[in-house]
Amino acid sequence: MTGSAARHRVVIIGAGFGGLEAVLRLKGAPVDITLIDRRNHHLFQPLLYQVATASLAPSEIAWPVRHLVRRRPEVRTILGEVTGIDVAGRAVQLGDERVPYDTLLVATGARHAYFGHDDWEPFAPGLKDIDDATAIRRRILTAFERAETEPDPAARRALLTFVIVGAGPTGVEIAGTIAELAHHTMAEDFRALDPKEARILLVEAGPRVLAAFPEDLSDYAQKALERLGAEIRTGQAVTACDAEGVALGAERIPAKTVIWAAGVQASPAAIWLGAESDRAGRVMVAPDLTLPGHPEIFVVGDTARLDAWQGKPLPGIAPAAKQQGRHVADTIRARLAGKPDPGPFRYKHAGSLATIGKRAAVIDFGWIKLRGWLAWWIWGIAHIYFLIGLRNRLTVALSWLWIYTTGQRSARLITGRGREE
């Protein structure tokens, strides 16, 4: 790392949307930045489900962090696991190594939450990183392969039953894509098996799918899923989950593939900071995104709790995290220039989007609501726009165009080894 010891030291934990946006926004500022992450890549998480369902390859939605900051000599990148934060001593702990800071930004994201049933995780993996996505892809594709040679009808039905728990955007998108994968993409690939026998079951404890969307868009999404062949169960919560399937109250559903999309739990940042947190583990931050009593510490993204969206918590989506990262960077710049802080963070909601298969989506811009194929094209253009680099934009656009016109998905590779084997 270049620069003198007199330069302001900014440490950023997490190379997600919030952390990386702060790095980009601080370009040219009189700071030395240390960017810490336990993975070497930045992930475009909104498209992670497309890796899990064999639509895209991991390399199309992830980029090496070192490559992204290669022309920023003031940025030092550390691949490591944070074990604690010394708030009084202003240092981040990486095992035996201490990384001192003048300003700290915590943007460590979240993992899936099982609402007190963490023992379900081995049987119902969530989707938060590339490892999760490739493991789920392996489970889905392996289920079809095993069903091809399974002589017992009951065992075959369990192999071909896919249960998705949680009907938010991720759950809806996964259910729609698995339905298309089974009913269209692989319809002619097997000899002893008809993939159309697959049962895709989307389970939601609440009263409807896409609860954050207006009710008419929620109804449209459910009908679109049902047209694709998915089965929707609302108002029912999973009460048990194991290697043989799930239970919905007294009903037992044999299923070899269960995917969890029902909730998130923040990283241990609140524990590291000794800070107050909500039930999801998110740090309760001040209106300017700082830790109360510590103006030198900022917390953003899924790690932070701030009721600044129509009196509700900020949504856990990429645009919100990016806006918070920009606000933190602008605050740091103002402080170093001796100017007043920008003040409280103000969130600008650009809209809510969710896709259902390859030809339908729903969009809520507030002032206008869209559904169907037009919404799908707008959804696709918006996601391509936010990808990093021309190459990734082109490859994803071409992959989607190929899927749209042919129905085929080229990333159907079974790699690695897991419990399902």
Query: Catalytic annotation on 173?
Result: yes
Q: What is the pLDDT of residue 2?
A: 44
Give the Cα separation of 261 and 246 in Å (integer): 14
**Strand pairing category for 84-86 and 75-79:** unpaired
Q: Which of the pair, 297 or 392, is modelled with greater confidence?
A: 297
Calculate the average pLDDT of the chain.
94
Q: What is the pLDDT of residue 418?
A: 60
Q: What is the pLDDT of residue 5?
A: 54
Does pTM surpass 0.95? no
Mean pLDDT over 306-333 rounds to 95
Q: What is the pLDDT of residue 194?
A: 94
Tell me the per-residue pLDDT of 10-27, one tens digit each, with 9 for 90 and over: 999 999 999 999 999 999
Mean pLDDT over 363-377 rounds to 94
Q: What dihedral do alpha carbons 35, 38, 44, 49 form, nearest 10°?
A: -170
Distances (CA, A) of 255 to 30, 139, 325: 56, 12, 41
Tell me the per-residue pLDDT of 73-124, one tens digit each, with 9 for 90 and over: 999 999 999 999 999 999 999 999 999 999 999 999 999 899 999 999 999 9
Mean pLDDT over 64-77 rounds to 97
The percent of residues in the chain predicted with pLDDT above 70, rounded, is 98
Give the Cα separation of 46 and 65 in Å (integer): 18
Q: What is the pLDDT of residue 389?
A: 78
Q: Is the pLDDT of residue 4 over 60?
A: no
Tell me which residue has tokens 């021309």: 390
Q: Is the pLDDT of residue 30 over 90?
A: yes
Q: What is the pLDDT of residue 388?
A: 82
Mean pLDDT over 132-157 rounds to 96
Mean pLDDT over 235-254 rounds to 97
Q: What is the pLDDT of residue 1?
A: 41
Confidence of residue 338 (pLDDT cuts 50, 70, 90): very high
- Catalytic residue among 173, 215, 231, 420, which? 173
Give the Cβ contact number of residue 312 at 10 Å.
9
